[in-house]
């Protein structure tokens, strides 16, 4: 069996051979990845069910189809993404070829997490392959069934010289990180991100961080309360709240809360029935450790459970739960919940809601529910977040045209669609010059003279830019 450093060394040799660079190779591997997902849809759905009791419907939507759509988009566009991007020039460079060339970085490492264990590995991998890199993927050991399925399938469908799966938990990942990579793409918690950064700093490796945090859902002004409740319940309890872009908490006025609670009760009953534990449409908490963490949060909270609250340790089940009277310093507000618990906090004005959001770390996603476009626009303008969506939750991340990523503590960098290709490309500044216009060029040579400087300033001025090749 190869050691981790032998795997990395083998991929480095493949990268140096240049095999990953031609467009045909990239397209062939992306097509292989597409076959991997298509041929094994049932095995994927079963593995996700084993790991999280993920309903087939959610597995298809959020793991299978999102990856297939990304692959279609990449296969259709990789040729145009690879084209040089010509830039405008000034008089002094008008005969030169000046362009940005996207080049692969080398051997990149993608570390995934357990909540969308297929999507969060394969989607970045699409960008990395499209950009012409060799790739090591490290699935999360927590979602063990998907981890082992990915390790089995990838070598069957992709070039083994260029792509590898390395498995293991924290210790194995730390050992893997001692190798030199050309880029590290990490999805997971802010705590682990700090260790990743430390390891990356040894080799000065650039890093993309896809992290989490607390995504607010601010409901303000006139609003279609029944639709708001349905969309909120769907976005929050999809995958039992274990989504990095799930609404973490609701901010609204007391009057809105009074109207919202019966609507939430109705939506929950419509979706999951009177006994949600018997519903096939609710995932389970991924592990006993995560179940205990969530139950501890519930115990430490001084809020009041108004909906749900039931749990079953054996079944790793926590009912969709809504809490009110939650203070800003409550245990539930100290960390990302990442589970099926929805606290509601009341604020009485638009400004106070915006202040609340801005007092906290910049979130990965920010949701505003309102019929009033002035409310939506004010929140959009006065806050910052990785992504923003009005009158819905999560869906903004399904479009490959929109970059997906955080800002500040919710993450560095972004991917999806072209943004994924860019995340794994080096933008090389190229100027191809000949020997023409030597007199014009000679203006910069000593001996320096004032008149030469005036001419030079004129020929290099941005005002004299032109688009000639």
Cα 361 from Cα 190, distance rounded (Å)? 12
104 belongs to the binding site for ligand NAD (CB under 6 A): no
370 belongs to the binding site for ligand NAD (CB under 6 A): no
288 belongs to the binding site for ligand NAD (CB under 6 A): no
CA distances from 411 to 57, 61, 187, 337, 386 (A): 29, 24, 9, 17, 8
The size of the interface with ligand NAD (CB under 6 A), counted in residues, is 28
User: Of 7, 36, 37, 120, which lies in the binding site for ligand NAD, with binding defined by CB under 6 A?
Assistant: 120
| Of the candidates 57, 414, 396, the residue with the CA atom closest to the CA atom of residue 231 | 396
3-state secondary structure of 429: strand
Of 267 and 337, CB closest to ligand NAD: 337
User: Of 111, 144, 375, 423, which lies in the binding site for ligand NAD, with binding defined by CB under 6 A?
Assistant: 111
User: Of 174, 265, 396, 452, which lies in the binding site for ligand NAD, with binding defined by CB under 6 A?
Assistant: 174
Cα 360 from Cα 421, distance rounded (Å)? 31
| Residue 176 beta carbon to ligand NAD: minimum distance, rounded to whole angstroms | 8
Q: What is the dihedral of CA 133, 6, 182, 191, to 10 degrees?
A: 110
272 belongs to the binding site for ligand NAD (CB under 6 A): no
113 belongs to the binding site for ligand NAD (CB under 6 A): yes
Chain length of the chain: 469
Q: Which residue has the tokens 């030199």?
A: 180
Cα 54 from Cα 52, distance rounded (Å)? 5
Give the DSSP H or E segment for 174.
helix 170-176
Binding region for ligand NAD (CB under 6 A) out of 9-17, 110-118, 122-130, 154-162: 110-118
338 belongs to the binding site for ligand NAD (CB under 6 A): yes
Of all residues in this chain, which one has the CB nearest to ligand NAD in the complex? 212
| Residue 420 beta carbon to ligand NAD: minimum distance, rounded to whole angstroms | 12
Of 43 and 192, CB closest to ligand NAD: 192
285 belongs to the binding site for ligand NAD (CB under 6 A): no
Of 221 and 386, CB closest to ligand NAD: 386
User: Of 115, 239, 321, 370, which lies in the binding site for ligand NAD, with binding defined by CB under 6 A?
Assistant: 115
Give the DSSP H or E segment for 262.
helix 254-272
357 belongs to the binding site for ligand NAD (CB under 6 A): no
Binding region for ligand NAD (CB under 6 A) out of 29-37, 85-93, 167-175, 450-458: 167-175
| Rg value, the chain, Cα | 26
* 200-239: contacts with ligand NAD (CB under 6 A): 210-212
Q: Which residue has the tokens 């963490």?
A: 293
Question: Which residues are CB-neighbours of 31 under 8 A, at least 6 positions away?
Answer: 75
403 belongs to the binding site for ligand NAD (CB under 6 A): no
Binding region for ligand NAD (CB under 6 A) out of 37-45, 81-89, 138-146, 294-302: 138-146
Catalytic residues: 210, 244
| Residue 297 beta carbon to ligand NAD: minimum distance, rounded to whole angstroms | 14
| Residue 250 beta carbon to ligand NAD: minimum distance, rounded to whole angstroms | 18
Contact, 330 vs 302, CB < 8 A? yes
User: Of 138, 183, 231, 236, which lies in the binding site for ligand NAD, with binding defined by CB under 6 A?
Assistant: 138
List strand residue ranges (DSSP E) for 211-320, in order: 215-219, 247-252, 304-307, 311-312, 317-318
User: Of 195, 224, 277, 390, which lies in the binding site for ligand NAD, with binding defined by CB under 6 A?
Assistant: 195
Of 243 and 257, CB closest to ligand NAD: 243
Contact, 162 vs 19, CB < 8 A? yes
| Of the candidates 117, 241, 184, 236, the residue with the CA atom closest to the CA atom of residue 412 | 184
Q: Which residue has the tokens 């993920």?
A: 54
| Of the candidates 100, 75, 197, the residue with the CA atom closest to the CA atom of residue 427 | 100
φ, ψ dihedrals at 383, nearest 5°: -130, 175
Of 287 and 441, CB closest to ligand NAD: 287
Answer left, alpha or beta for residue 413, where phi above 0 means left and psi between -120 and 50 means alpha.
Answer: left
| Residue 358 beta carbon to ligand NAD: minimum distance, rounded to whole angstroms | 20
Binding stretches for ligand NAD (CB under 6 A): 111-115, 120, 138, 140-142, 169-170, 173-174, 187-189, 192, 195, 210-212, 244, 336, 338, 364, 406, 411
């Amino acid at each position: 069996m190869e050691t981790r450093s032998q795997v990395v060394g083998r991929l480095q040799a493949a990268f140096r051979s240049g095999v990953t660079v031609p467009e045909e190779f990239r397209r062939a591997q992306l097509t292989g990845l597409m076959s991997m997902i298509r041929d094994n849809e049932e095995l994927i759905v079963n593995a996700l069910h084993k790991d999280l009791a993920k309903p087939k419907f959610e597995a298809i939507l959020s793991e299978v189809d999102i990856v297939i759509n990304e692959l279609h988009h990449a296969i259709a566009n990789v040729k145009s993404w690879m084209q040089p991007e010509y830039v405008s020039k000034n008089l002094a460079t008008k005969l030169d070829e000046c362009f940005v060339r996207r080049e692969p970085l080398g051997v990149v490492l993608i570390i995934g997490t357990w909540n969308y264990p297929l999507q969060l590995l394969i989607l970045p991998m699409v960008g990395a392959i499209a950009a012409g890199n060799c790739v090591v993927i490290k699935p999360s050991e927590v979602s063990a069934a998907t981890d082992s399925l990915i390790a089995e399938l990838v070598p069957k469908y992709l070039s083994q010289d260029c792509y590898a799966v390395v498995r293991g938990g924290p210790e194995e990942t730390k050992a893997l990180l001692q190798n030199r990579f050309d880029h590290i793409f990490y999805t997971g918690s802010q705590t682990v991100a700090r260790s990743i950064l430390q390891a990356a700093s040894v080799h000065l490796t650039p890093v993309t961080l896809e992290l989490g945090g607390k995504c607010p859902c601010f409901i303000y002004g006139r609003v279609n309360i029944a639709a708001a409740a349905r969309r909120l319940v769907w976005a929050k309890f999809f995958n039992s709240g274990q989504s990095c872009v799930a609404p973490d908490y609701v901010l609204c006025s007391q009057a809105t809360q009074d109207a919202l609670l019966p609507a939430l009760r109705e939506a929950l009953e419509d979706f999951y029935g009177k006994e949600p534990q018997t519903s096939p449409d609710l995932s389970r908490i991924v592990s006993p450790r995560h179940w205990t963490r969530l139950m501890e949060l519930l115990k430490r909270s001084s809020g009041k459970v108004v909906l749900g609250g039931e749990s079953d340790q054996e079944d790793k089940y926590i009912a969709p739960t809504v809490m009110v009277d939650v203070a800003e310093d409550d245990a539930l507000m100290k960390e990302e919940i990442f589970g099926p618990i929805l606290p509601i906090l009341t604020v009485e004005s638009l400004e106070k809601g915006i202040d609340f959001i801005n007092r906290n770390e910049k979130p990965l996603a920010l949701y505003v529910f309102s019929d009033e476009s002035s409310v939506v626009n004010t929140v959009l303008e006065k806050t910052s977040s990785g992504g923003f969506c009005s009158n819905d939750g999560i869906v903004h991340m399904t479009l490959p045209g929109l970059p997906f990523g955080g800002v500040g503590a919710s993450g560095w960098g972004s991917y999806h669609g072209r943004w994924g290709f860019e995340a794994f490309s080096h933008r090389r500044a190229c100027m191809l010059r000949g020997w023409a216009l030597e007199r014009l060029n000679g203006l910069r040579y000593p001996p320096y003279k004032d008149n030469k400087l005036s001419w030079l300033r004129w020929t290099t001025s941005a005002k004299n830019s032109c688009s000639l090749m």
